[in-house]
Amino acid sequence: MDWTRSKTLALASNGCAHCRGLGLRDLLGGKQRPCVCVFRSIFRICYLRFQDCVTKEKHLSHVSFELHSGPNRRGTWGRKDEEFIADFSAIARRVLDDFEHRIFRYHFLLGADWRLCTRQLRMDRGTFFHAVYRIEKKMGQEFGEVEPFALYPVDEYFNALPRQRVIKASEPPPKKPSVIPIRPPIFHQLFGPVRKAA
Ligand SMILES: [Zn+2]
């Protein structure tokens, strides 16, 4: 995703001390990156949708047809709710370390509050909440940036159609370095220099 101020502004926390509610932070070299508060907002949006997918009655989940772009333009049938649950869980497994994943499982999947988590995992309250912030930041970033199908924006994940995507021209191939062909003078070696007929 190309992070622009118009995208991050709505997600940023008004009281954020790092970005002052703008959602972007300046890096060295003049580049800008989304603030942690933006990634945490993305996590919360996706987590709400995840809870909705997990808790809704199974007969409400429906099969949807998704068209593919490309030369044959075939499509596939899929169950988006189940795909979202699987992607959400796979990203947690991929980006979190073992310690963070245990907290993720207890707190976000099983619903244990901080008192129960700190007692079971034998840690203090500060360590627990620091880990929760890290989890939200890591997963929110991955939800927004994972290719080719980001979980955020959630509406695009569930309703993406090829014609709704921005179609860009493909990048030109990298310029090849100029090559000097090797032509051994075989003819001249065998027959000598060519002379024009008089
Ligand atoms: Zn911020």
Strands 24-26 and 64-67: unpaired
Q: For the chain, what are the domain ranges? A: 36-165
Dump pLDDT digits (tens) for 57-66: 776 656 666 6
Dump pLDDT digits (tens) for 60-95: 656 666 666 665 566 666 688 889 999 999 999 999
CA of 197 to the centre of ligand 1 (A): 84
CA of 54 to the centre of ligand 1 (A): 30
- Is the sign of the CA dihedral 164, 168, 169, 172 positive or negative? negative
CA of 34 to the centre of ligand 1 (A): 8
CA of 127 to the centre of ligand 1 (A): 21
CA of 11 to the centre of ligand 1 (A): 9
Pick the residue with more confidence: 143 or 26?
143
Distance (Å, whole) CA 78 – CA 157: 12
